[in-house]
Amino acid sequence: MDVNQFGKTSKLSITVQNRQSADGHPRTIVSDCFFTAPFKVMKPFPRADGGLMIYQQTASAGVMAGDRQEFNFLVEDSACLEIVSQSFDKIFKMDDGKAARTIHAEVAHNGILIYAPLPCIPFGGSNFSSYTKIRLADSSAKLLYEDCICCGRKGHGELFAYKEYHNSIEIERQGKLIYRENTLFTGSDCGSFPENELFMKNNVMYGDYSHLGQLLIFGYGIPADDISFHLGLPDKFLYTPDTMPAEEPSHPLLAGVTTTESNDIIVRVLADSAEEIQNFFTPVKKHLAELH
C-alpha cells in the first residue's frame, strides 16, 4: 500500500455543543477540534440561527496517491454545524495506488449538520474512494448533505478519464439503517479504456451531461412537493427539455426529487457545470435555513 507524504492518516475532528449566550439566546460553540497535516480550520463564522459555519482548509494542492483521510464530526444536543470547504476537491492523477477518505458524523437530539463542501474534480488517471457514515439520534436530528462530482477537468478535455471513483454513504436513525448508496464509476484511465468513457456518456448514465449533484435532506419533515416548488419543479418530477420555459437554456439541467421510505428527501441533478448545480440547490438551502 502506498503511503502519502505525511506517512500516516490525515485527520480532522470537530465537536460542537449548544450553550446559552449572555443575552439568553442559544448559540453553538466548538468544544473540541483536532487536526493533522494537511488539514486545518479557520476561525468559525457565526450563523444567523446561532449555529457555526466552519471552513475546512488543506495545505495540500489536492488528494494524492496514498492519501488516507479521516473526518469526524459530532453535533451535540441542539447544536448546529455547517461544514464547507475553501476550494474544489482536486483528486490528482495516480500512476499507482489510490486515495481513500472516511467520514463519520453523529447528530444528537435537535442537532443540525450541514455538510456542503465544494465539488470534487477527479483528474484523469485518479483512483479515489470515499466512505461516509452518519448517525442521527432521532427524528429531531437534521442532516443536509450536498455532493457534486465533476466529470474531470472538462476545460482540458478530460471527460470521465479517471480510473475509478467510488462513493459510499450510509445514514442511520436511532440505530436503524435508513439510507444507503454505493456509487462506483469506472472511467477510461486517460483513454486506455475508451469503452468506459462511452458507457459513462450513455443515456442510462450521464448522457450529454458532465456533472452530477445530489442533496440529501433528512429530518426536516417537509414534503417533496415543497422541495420541488423551491427548485422550480412545482408540477413535474423531472426538468426535461419539453417542460422547460422558453427562456431557459437549450440544454437545461435534469433533476429529480425522491422521497425515501423514512420520509426523507433525495434530490439529484445532472448539469453541464458545477456552478449550475450549486445555483440550483441554493433556493432549497435558503428555504431550509428559514425553517429552523
126 part of a folded domain: yes
Determine the pLDDT at residue 233. Answer: 75
The closest alpha carbon to 260, from 212, 201, 220, 209, belongs to 220
252 part of a folded domain: no
Domain that holds residue 169: 10-222+259-282
SS3 letters across 21-67: CCCCCEEEEEEEEEECCCEEECCCEECCCCCEEEEEEECCCCECCCC
**Number of domains into which the chain is organized:** 1
pLDDT at residue 139 above 60?
A: yes
Determine the pLDDT at residue 234. Answer: 54
What percent of the chain stands above pLDDT 70?
Answer: 91
Greatest distance between any 2 Cα atoms in the chain: 63
245 part of a folded domain: no
pLDDT at residue 193 above 80?
A: yes
Determine the pLDDT at residue 245. Answer: 52
What mean pLDDT comes out for the span 62-73?
95
233 part of a folded domain: no
What mean pLDDT comes out for the span 249-276?
89
pLDDT at residue 166 above 70?
A: yes
Least confident of 4-8, 10-14, 54-58, 152-156: 4-8
pLDDT band at 195 (very low <50, low <70, confident <90, very high): very high
68 part of a folded domain: yes
Cell readout for 45 is: 463564522
Determine the pLDDT at residue 247. Answer: 53
pLDDT band at 230 (very low <50, low <70, confident <90, very high): confident
14 part of a folded domain: yes
237 part of a folded domain: no
